[in-house]
Amino acid sequence: MKRKMVRRKTTPIRKPKKKVSVFSGKLVRYLIVTFVIVLVIAVGYHYRDGLAYYFSFKSDKILKKEAEAKRISDVRNFQVLEKHEGKSVGLDVSEYQGKIQWTYVDTLEQKYPLDFVFIRATVGRDRKDRRFDRNWLGAKENKMIRGAYHYYRPNENSLEQAELFIKTVTLQKGDLPPVLDIEKLPKNQSLDRLKVGLKRWLKRVELHYEVKPIIYTGEKYYDDFLKEEFSDYLFWIANYNFYREEINEDWLFWQFTEKASVPGIKGNVDVNIYNGDLQQLQFITKE
């Protein structure tokens, strides 16, 4: 009997294909380098004037200021300060700045005199800033024009907040008007009720100190909620955006940075420009 020959099928051994990753090492490096280059070009273009000042490329006059310009770490801050030459410059502080050595607080970047300081006094209806008394006295001894501000909590009783501020702050001749700091939107009340509360605080504080308070807030908050209804008040506006490089003519103060370095204060500190010179600033202080 003849046997039928059966051929066994052999499965060819295939070599595993190498996985091709879209994010290969070379591609990732290329993307990172491209992104950095584009970012540097964009930032450089926007700050071309400030960088020109910084590296003294503009004129012979700027070349003479080279040593001073190089000491300023933030190009935008330098550009803003240069554009507001002659206007009064100051700070605002709270317990977050820790222990301040007030005798060293005199100039910004060893060039711009610091004329004034706003000091946080109270928060809401029940909290006094832990460093207020020390800062309030230290600023006075350092011969700075000082002002006190209250951080307003929208969901707490406005008159209780006003009474806490009045109990905490005694204004003297030469001090700035009191400031209401409003930054948050309410959670448990309408915007109309918020505005009623703000007005109650402002009127109670004005009645006590016999001077109209100043309102501090961000530019968007000001535009969206306060500009029209609180037009009788003067505003201190915060805006750190790179596109804002000059104070608005309607603002009394402009907080243009929160990242400045000042002698006597550890870490970053807010810097503000008054929309006028030192003599005009003294004119609005308590008589």
Query: What's residue 124's pLDDT?
Result: 97
Query: What's residue 236's pLDDT?
Result: 98
| Contact (Cβ atoms closer than 8 angstroms) between residue 112 and residue 89 | yes
Q: Which of 47, 165, 149 is nearest to 93 (CA)?
A: 149
- pLDDT-wise least confident of 117-126, 145-154, 181-190: 181-190
Query: What's residue 13's pLDDT?
Result: 52
Query: What's residue 35's pLDDT?
Result: 81
Stretch 247-259: mean pLDDT, rounded? 96
- Which segments of 91-186 does DSSP mark as H helices, in order? 132-141, 158-168
β partners of residue 107? 113
Is domain 85-283 annotated with CATH 3.30.450.40?
no
Residue 261 has pLDDT above 70, yes or no: yes
pLDDT, tens digit, 9 for 90 and up, residues 87-114 = 999 999 999 999 999 999 999 978 899 9
Residues of the chain above pLDDT 90, percent: 67
Residue 22 has pLDDT above 60, yes or no: no
Query: What's residue 111's pLDDT?
Result: 86
Query: What's residue 43's pLDDT?
Result: 62
Of residues 80 and 6, which shows the higher confidence score? Answer: 80
Element (H, E) at 78: helix 75-83
pLDDT, tens digit, 9 for 90 and up, residues 50-79 = 554 444 444 555 445 544 443 444 788 888
Query: What's residue 30's pLDDT?
Result: 77
How far apart (Å, rounded) are the C-alpha atoms in residues 106 and 114?
A: 6
264: left (phi over 0), alpha (psi -120 to 50) or beta: left
Q: Which of 163, 117, 168 is nearest to 140 (CA)?
A: 117
272 three-class SS: strand
The catalytic site residues sit at 92, 183
Residue 214 has pLDDT above 60, yes or no: yes
Query: What's residue 73's pLDDT?
Result: 46
Q: Phi first, then psi: give them for residue 45, nearest 5 degrees.
A: -65, -45
Query: What's residue 149's pLDDT?
Result: 98
Q: Please state the domain extents for the chain.
A: 24-70, 85-283
How far apart (Å, rounded) are the C-alpha atoms in residues 48 and 75?
A: 10
